[in-house]
Amino acid sequence: MWWTEKGHLEVGNNQLYIGGMNAVELASKYGTPLYVYNGNKIKGNFERLNAALSAHTDNYRIHFAVKANSHIQIQKLAYDTGAYADCVSPIECRMALKAGLSKERVLFTGTSVSNSDLEDLVNLGVRINIDSVSQLRRLAKLSTKPELSVRWNPGEGAGAGLHSHTITAGKYIKFGIPEHKVLDTFREAKALGFKVVGLHQHIGSGWLGDDVQVFHDSVRRTLNVANQAQEILGSAFEFIDFGGGPGIRYREGQTPFPIEEYARGLIEQVRAEGYRGTIAIEPGRFPVGESGILLLEVNTVEEKNIPIVGVDGGFNTLIRPAFYESYHEIVLANRVESDDRQEVMVAGNLCESSDVFNCSKKELREIAMPEEGEILALLCAGAYGFEMASTYNGRPLPAQVLIMDGKDHLITERGTIESIVGLQKIVV
The residue length of the chain stands at: 428
Looking at residue 321, its amino acid is P
Report the distance separating Cα 416 and Cα 313, nearest Å.
Answer: 15
Beta strands in 113-185 (DSSP E): 127-130, 148-153, 177-178
Bridge partner list, 85: 64, 106
The 3 state secondary structure assigned to 319-364 is CHHHHHCCCCCEEECCCCCCCCEEEEEEECCCCCCCCECCCCCCCC
Whether the domain at 9-31+291-421 and the domain at 39-285 fall into the same CATH topology: no
Alpha-carbon distances, residue 100 vs 66, 73, 111, 117, 402 (angstroms) = 14, 10, 25, 22, 18
Q: Which CATH superfamily is domain 9-31+291-421 in?
A: Lyase, Ornithine Decarboxylase; Chain A, domain 1 (2.40.37.10)
User: Would the pLDDT of 232 be above 90?
Assistant: yes
Where b means 16+ CB within 10 Å and e means fewer, 201-240 reads: bbbbbbbbbebbebbbebbebbbebbeebbeebeeebebb
Superfamily (CATH) of domain 39-285: Alanine racemase (3.20.20.10)
Give the pLDDT confidence of 361-377 residue by residue, as tens digits.
889 999 999 999 999 99
Q: Average pLDDT of 264-293?
A: 95
Q: Give the C-alpha distances (Å, rounded to integers) separating 63 from 29, 81, 287.
A: 35, 11, 11
- pTM of this structure: 0.93
Tell me the per-residue pLDDT of 29-79, one tens digit each, with 9 for 90 and over: 999 999 999 999 999 999 999 999 999 999 999 999 999 999 999 999 999
Rounded Cα gap, residues 422 and 201, in angstroms: 40
Spot the catalytic one: 87, 93, 351, 380. Answer: 351
Q: Do residues 343 and 366 touch, judged by C-beta distance below 8 A?
A: yes
User: Across the chain, what does the average pLDDT equal?
Assistant: 92
For the residues 335-351, what does the mean pLDDT come to? Answer: 96
Q: Could you tell me the residue ranges of all domains in the chain?
A: 9-31+291-421, 39-285
CB neighbours of 47 closer than 8 A, spacing ≥ 6? Answer: 81
Distance CA 256, CA 250 (A): 10
**Rounded Cα distance, 150 and 129, in Å:** 5
pLDDT at 159 over 50: no
Is 380 labeled as catalytic in the residue annotation? no
**For residues 14-26, average pLDDT:** 98
Q: What is the pLDDT of residue 158?
A: 46
- Which residues are 240's β-sheet partners? 199, 279
